[in-house]
A and B are shown apart, each in its own frame.
Chain A
Amino acid sequence: MSSDWQAFWISWRFDVGLLLLVLFSGGIYLRGWLRLRARGAERFGPWQLAAMLGGLLALFLALQSPLEAFSGLLLQIHMLQHLLLMFIAPPLLWLAAPELPLLVGLPRPLRRHVVVPLLRDEGVRMLSRTLTHPIVAWLLFVIATWAWHLPALYTRALTSTFWHEAEHATFFFAALCFWHVVIAPYPHMRRVNRWAVLPFLLLAGLQGTALSALLTFSDRVLYPHYLTVPRLWNITALDDQAVAGALMWSCGSLVYLVALVLVALEIWNAPQVSLTGRGGASGRLAIAPSLATIRRSEAAHLRPLATTARWDLLSVPWIGNLLRQAATRRALQTILLVTAGLIVMDGLLGPQVSPINLAGVLPWIHWRGVLVLGLLVAGNFFCMACPFTLPRSLAKRLLGGRTAWPALLRNKWLAVGLLVFFFWAYEALALWDSPWWTAWIVVTYFALSFVIDGFFHGGSFCKYVCPIGQFQFAASLVSPLQIAPRDAGLCASCTTHDCIRGGPQGPGCQTDLFVPQKTSNLDCTFCLDCVRACPQDNVGLLAFLPVHQLMPAAANQRFWQRNDLAALLLIFCSAAFVNAAWMVAPVVAIEQSLMQVFDFRARPLFVGLGILLTAVVLPGLGLLAVAALSRAMGPQKESVTTLARRYLPALVPLSFGLWCAHYAFHLFTSAGTIFAAGNRMLADWNLAPLSEAAAACACCGDVAGWILPVEILLLDGGLCLSLFVAYRIAERQTHSETAALRAWSVWAILLLGLFAAAVWILMQPMQMRGTLVLGG
């Protein structure tokens, strides 16, 4: 074998993304196929499985085999690649009848809460109907084939990876639509008479023959790219083109022919329409059973699906048992208490250089990042592990703890004020750059929680004072996990209400939440006292759709009209933008120029005015203006302020997306600083030598290319959820589709504008806070 051929056979690519796609698709199909087989669905036999695996293999070979590496050098190899993508992989995939196995193979929460609602969406269904319409599918297939074979586009695809992949995606997509019409995979109704498929295939074959002939019999090289590349195996560019055309002709025609024969056989073997009998009383036509009838009959033979209960984290064998133990919470709190102690010690006694001080990196880089990502994928687990509440029992024993929290302060106003104060302090005192201030904030927090929890009943500090807690409560409205009763019926017959009052098994809820009436994560610290207190073991940590809590249908209407709650959500949303924007260069430049123009000497005062204006006043006025516009667009009875409060929850997912993107950026770019700060602290105590390698972690490095796409994906998710919640609110507020769409359009424009602003912020050069500036 020549060296050229040896090189050919080892020129494989292994893109992790594509490999995972193929493996996941195959895995999900196999799981669904096995489950359907177990339920007795005989339609899914070994042939379907083989077709699916064959289709995925063809896809993998087309995109990852040496065909890909050599496609830029030889047209015939490129043609083979296209044939796999258009004539082999798509028909095999449809022959596997993949829809039902893929759906059944998906994890149940994903299927139930994401995929099925998506598939039920009118727009998705309309699009799919359009794409698989015979005329549309045929035109897509033919246009894709001819357009990409135009010399300008073909050459573009050969010299650019992006356009090459776009070409492949177009071919594959168009071929999927085309072969869907031909195969009409189970369980679809056949929309076209099978006789019509014959000319459908014949006409496609004719245009393919025309293109093949053009390539085969041309007396000049159509794609100049192949004239510039080195020739392999002594094949001239013109011969190469002729062979490519012949391949297209022979392989394409063969596949069309096989399809034609199979369709013809199917028509031949189909049950014939017949009269019910010459002497039939009705004289009506009796036809073969319809597909719907067949499906109903098959469905009757399937065994029932599993139970419909929500997924419960506390039911997961090992984790559930661990979380239920009060000792687990105390252990987590103790770990964080020790960490807080180290932060205070290093903040007060260590060097005041943030990137090498634990008080400079742990709270502002690691804690914040882990916190938001935890809220995103699970729930408010930081409150569960909060070290500030660990000495609560001791405080109550020492100070009494029986006084009721003042009625005047039984709302969120104090906490909202403290939250605004916290954001002001963060910017004005540059907390991320001041280990000393950070340490004092931790100490003050401990002292405040100790005194308040010591004097007052229950968890008054958590519910009415703690600004960090309020942030978590607002963010956890988008979290997927929520404390809820497993069986609402059982709660209805409960007379002891141990989940709120406490009982022999443990104390009740410290923030006075009654589980059967709880509709959101607001004020829930995930302490799991209610879980332990319930004698029926009827409280779980259940999975819900991320926006379930914000849906007006599920939420308490009066509850969402509280002004203090609206203020909390407004600050949560506006601060996401203000906090992120204040770390990008253009905004910092504006701040400096404004301070010069107005001759401001005291930055804290300037920052205070800035925070009040940008996080409180302007967002509030903007919200009212949009509510007024929405009221004018779609008739809604309520006042402008009521409407503003009503729609405010719709802004939460997008804002939370920005919080996640912002804090995840710091975590992903500066996670290594913990090694620099830890090593420095250990070296100070003579427990380790000072390591240069560890110190290098404190310096800002290159931002990895994947971080920005991940940040934008987080925003994408937030935007979609926000738009969805806004529409549901609009739908509830109005009484017709037209009015709902009009009312929603105003909020949609606002959300798109906020999304654009968030993307702009993330794309600006960021201050690498918490790291040493190289060469500085």
Chain B
Amino acid sequence: MLLRPLSLLFFCTSLCCVSAVARGDGGAVVFSGESGPLRVTMFVEPVPPRVGSVDLSLLVQDRTSLEAIEAYTAFLTLSRADGTTVEEYEASMSRNEATNRLFQAASLELDFAGTWQVTLHVDQIEGDHSEHTFSFPLEVAAPAARLWDVLIWILLPAIPLLLFVAGRLRRVVTERNR
């Protein structure tokens, strides 16, 4: 039947194409700690973080009730020393950067692989207006080969090619059976 594959192809190809470009914040937990009344959890994406664009997302909760706290400002410092040079990045975290509005997020471009020291400053706007500082190491891997970023686009012709060859082979088999 001529129409049979149409919608199947239509929906799935479109969804696969869209899937390949979609992304969001979240990822894996890289740090969780408590200070005063706060409990903070830091997520990173991609997993593992690689040289290039890295998303850091932060969730701040009340230590006892585990209810999310929204009234705070957060500031990140990432530093890395290799004996001769010191690299340092700073970024303010923002709720607008995050898809999940419980989080605040920041996106950074990291240029080097290795261990980065992350220092997180959280200032509570309401309540006791206390300041809290957390520090933890973040392992950043070497960048993935550029090929992986575009592999899906390179392999795209394989689908019509395989379908085409399969159809021709079927004809060959029919021809031989005659």
Is residue B114 contacting chain A, with contact meaning CB distance below 8 A?
no
Q: By the criterion CB–CB under 8 Å, are A159 and B28 in contact?
A: yes
Q: By the criterion CB–CB under 8 Å, are A102 and B161 in contact?
A: no
Stretch in B1-9, B74-82, B133-141 touching the partner: B1-9
Is residue B129 contacting chain A, with contact meaning CB distance below 8 A?
no
Q: Which residues of A have CB within 8 Å of B171?
A: 122, 737
Is residue B86 contacting chain A, with contact meaning CB distance below 8 A?
no
Question: Which residue of B9, B19, B176 contacts A169 across the interface (Cβ within 8 Å)?
Answer: B19
Q: Which residues of B have CB within 8 Å of A161?
A: 22-24, 26-27, 45-46
Q: How far is the CA of A98 from the CA of B29 in the complex (A)?
A: 42
Is residue B14 contacting chain A, with contact meaning CB distance below 8 A?
yes
Interface string of A152-189 (1 = CB under 8 A from B): 00000001111001101100110011001000000111
Q: How far is the CA of A2 from the CA of B69 in the complex (A)?
A: 10
Taking the closest CB of chain A, its distance from the CB of B141, in whole angstroms, is: 13
Q: How far is the CA of A719 from the CA of B150 in the complex (A)?
A: 16
Is residue B108 contacting chain A, with contact meaning CB distance below 8 A?
no
Is residue A296 contacting chain B, with contact meaning CB distance below 8 A?
no
Take A7-B70, A13-B99 as given contacts and tell me if A125 and B4 are in contact as well, using a CB distance cutoff of 8 Å.
yes
Q: By the criterion CB–CB under 8 Å, are B68 and A7 in contact?
A: yes
Is residue A115 contacting chain B, with contact meaning CB distance below 8 A?
yes
In the complex formed, the residue of A with least CB distance to B148 is A162
Q: By the criterion CB–CB under 8 Å, are B6 and A102 in contact?
A: yes
Stretch in A15-23, A473-481, A677-685 touching the partner: A15-23
A25-39 with Cβ < 8 A to chain B: 25
Is residue B36 contacting chain A, with contact meaning CB distance below 8 A?
no
Q: Which residues of A have CB within 8 Å of B47?
A: 159-160
Q: How far is the CA of A120 from the CA of B1 in the complex (A)?
A: 9
Q: By the criterion CB–CB under 8 Å, are A102 and B10 in contact?
A: yes
Q: By the criterion CB–CB under 8 Å, are B167 and A763 in contact?
A: no
Question: Which residue of A63, A119, A759 contacts B3 across the interface (Cβ within 8 Å)?
Answer: A119
Interface string of B44-87 (1 = CB under 8 A from A): 01110000000000010100011111100000000000000000
Q: Which residues of A have CB within 8 Å of B12?
A: 169, 172-173, 176
A721-751 with Cβ < 8 A to chain B: 723-724, 727, 736-738, 740-741
In the complex formed, the residue of B with least CB distance to A756 is B154
In the complex formed, the residue of A with least CB distance to B48 is A159
Q: How many contacting A-B pairs (Cβ < 8 A)?
A: 217
Q: Which residues of B have CB within 8 Å of A234?
A: 65-66
Is residue B157 contacting chain A, with contact meaning CB distance below 8 A?
yes
Q: By the criterion CB–CB under 8 Å, are A124 and B18 in contact?
A: no
Q: Which residues of B have CB within 8 Å of A723?
A: 157, 161, 164
Q: By the criterion CB–CB under 8 Å, are B20 and A232 in contact?
A: no
Q: Which residues of A have CB within 8 Å of B16?
A: 169
Taking the closest CB of chain A, its distance from the CB of B159, in whole angstroms, is: 9
A686-718 with Cβ < 8 A to chain B: 705, 708-709, 712-713, 716
Taking the closest CB of chain B, its distance from the CB of A619, in whole angstroms, is: 22
Stretch in A126-134, A531-539, A576-584 touching the partner: A126-134
Q: By the criterion CB–CB under 8 Å, are B163 and A763 in contact?
A: no
Is residue A99 contacting chain B, with contact meaning CB distance below 8 A?
yes
Is residue B166 contacting chain A, with contact meaning CB distance below 8 A?
yes
Taking the closest CB of chain B, its distance from the CB of A551, in whole angstroms, is: 16
Q: Which residues of B have CB within 8 Å of A716?
A: 153-154, 156-157
Q: How far is the CA of A162 from the CA of B149 in the complex (A)?
A: 11
Interface string of A605-640 (1 = CB under 8 A from B): 000000000000000000000000000000000000
Is residue A308 contacting chain B, with contact meaning CB distance below 8 A?
no
Q: By the criterion CB–CB under 8 Å, are A713 and B156 in contact?
A: yes
Is residue B128 contacting chain A, with contact meaning CB distance below 8 A?
no
Take A229-B41, A232-B68 as given contacts and tell me if A116 and B2 are in contact as well, using a CB distance cutoff of 8 Å.
yes
Q: How far is the CA of A177 from the CA of B8 in the complex (A)?
A: 8
Q: By the criterion CB–CB under 8 Å, are A129 and B153 in contact?
A: no
In the complex formed, the residue of B with least CB distance to A12 is B99
Question: Which residue of A21, A98, A120 contacts B15 across the interface (Cβ within 8 Å)?
Answer: A21
Taking the closest CB of chain A, its distance from the CB of B104, in whole angstroms, is: 11
B137-178 with Cβ < 8 A to chain A: 146-147, 149-150, 153-154, 156-157, 160-172, 175-176
Take A121-B167, A176-B12, A723-B161 as given contacts and tell me if A18 and B22 are in contact as well, using a CB distance cutoff of 8 Å.
yes
In the complex formed, the residue of B with least CB distance to A115 is B6
Taking the closest CB of chain A, its distance from the CB of B125, in whole angstroms, is: 13
Q: Which residues of B have CB within 8 Å of A499?
A: none
Q: Which residues of B have CB within 8 Å of A159?
A: 27-28, 45, 47
Is residue A282 contacting chain B, with contact meaning CB distance below 8 A?
no
Stretch in A64-72, A381-389, A418-426 touching the partner: A64-72
Question: Which residue of A63, A69, A712 contacts B153 across the interface (Cβ within 8 Å)?
Answer: A712
Q: By the criterion CB–CB under 8 Å, are B29 and A7 in contact?
A: no
Q: By the criterion CB–CB under 8 Å, are B172 and A123 in contact?
A: no
Q: By the criterion CB–CB under 8 Å, are A169 and B15 in contact?
A: yes
Q: By the criterion CB–CB under 8 Å, are A230 and B61 in contact?
A: yes
Question: Which residue of A119, A165, A229, A755 contacts B2 across the interface (Cβ within 8 Å)?
Answer: A119
Taking the closest CB of chain A, its distance from the CB of B106, in whole angstroms, is: 17
Q: By the criterion CB–CB under 8 Å, are B150 and A708 in contact?
A: yes
Q: Interface centre among B3, B20, B45, B146, by most A CB within 10 Å?
A: B3
Q: By the criterion CB–CB under 8 Å, are B41 and A230 in contact?
A: yes
In the complex formed, the residue of B with least CB distance to A231 is B66
Q: By the criterion CB–CB under 8 Å, are B7 and A102 in contact?
A: yes
Is residue A218 contacting chain B, with contact meaning CB distance below 8 A?
no
Question: Which residue of B3, B21, B45, B146 contacts A100 across the interface (Cβ within 8 Å)?
Answer: B3
Q: Which residues of A have CB within 8 Å of B45?
A: 159, 161
Q: How far is the CA of A8 from the CA of B100 in the complex (A)?
A: 7
Is residue A3 contacting chain B, with contact meaning CB distance below 8 A?
yes
Q: Which residues of B have CB within 8 Å of A708?
A: 146, 149-150
Q: How far is the CA of A66 from the CA of B98 in the complex (A)?
A: 12
Q: By the criterion CB–CB under 8 Å, are B18 and A21 in contact?
A: yes
Q: By the criterion CB–CB under 8 Å, are A188 and B6 in contact?
A: no
Q: By the criterion CB–CB under 8 Å, are B156 and A120 in contact?
A: no
In the complex formed, the residue of B with least CB distance to A762 is B150
Is residue A228 contacting chain B, with contact meaning CB distance below 8 A?
yes
Q: By the criterion CB–CB under 8 Å, are A99 and B68 in contact?
A: no
Q: By the criterion CB–CB under 8 Å, are B7 and A98 in contact?
A: yes
Is residue B32 contacting chain A, with contact meaning CB distance below 8 A?
yes
Is residue B102 contacting chain A, with contact meaning CB distance below 8 A?
yes
Q: Which residues of A have CB within 8 Å of B166?
A: 122-123, 126-127
9 more contacts with CB within 8 A, not counting A3-B70, A159-B47, A727-B164, are A18-B22, A122-B166, A128-B9, A132-B8, A161-B45, A713-B153, A741-B172, A763-B147, A763-B150
Mind listing 12 A-B residue pairs with CB under 8 Å? A3-B69, A93-B11, A102-B10, A125-B167, A159-B28, A161-B23, A168-B19, A228-B28, A229-B41, A230-B61, A232-B66, A705-B149
Q: Report the 7 A-B pairs with minimum CB-CB distance, sorted nearest first.
A: A122-B167, A123-B167, A128-B5, A123-B163, A165-B19, A69-B100, A99-B3
